[in-house]
Amino acid sequence: MIQLVLGGARSGKSQYAEQQASRTDKTVFYIATATAADNEMSERIQQHQQQRPEHWTTVEETHHLAAVLQQYAKPNRTLLIDCLTLWLSNILFTSTGETDEACFKAETAALLKILPTLAGNIILVSNEVGQGTTPMNAMARRFIDEAGKLHQQIAECSDQVTFVTAGLPQQLKQTS
């Protein structure tokens, strides 16, 4: 089963996804995509780590998400990926802010190819970033465009899509 959980910043999407993972009878692997580029992000990562159950296994992967999912996906496991938009920024832009087209194309293609074939439960968390004003910055516009396209492609192959606002989950897609 593939679940996509979308929401804005601080919407409760990660907490909802963690609740969904906890409700399965499967071993949970938490795939973390964030990088601690500054003190504030380090604190956010630490808060997320403290909120997770200690018996979950954490795997950190900032770029090669498809390979990690293929490695860890098993029928008796739930993989919780948090978050796709952080992963997208990691593969789309280099540390200097330049676009890394080759990495972006290869990694998104690999994810979209492997995702429907994975065993077990897959829960993907991502920020919905396209509901605000259009940014003046070309890099930000590109990011929003690519995130929107990625969300649509993942939603298409997902069994369940949930949008979380103010901690309230809204089911957008549910297949039997």
Q: Which of 48, 55, 64, 151 is catalytic?
A: 48
CA-wise closest residue to 2 among 146, 111, 155, 109: 155
Sheet holding 77-82, edge to edge: 57-60, 27-32, 77-82, 121-127, 2-7, 160-165, 168-174
Locate 151 and state its tokens.
């969300």
In the residue annotation, 64 being an active-site residue is answered as no
Task: List Cα–Cα distances, 4 to 1, 55, 103, 155, 157, in angstroms.
Answer: 10, 23, 23, 7, 10
Locate 34 and state its tokens.
């964030």
Locate 148 and state its tokens.
């929107």
Question: Which amino acids are annotated catalytic?
Answer: 48
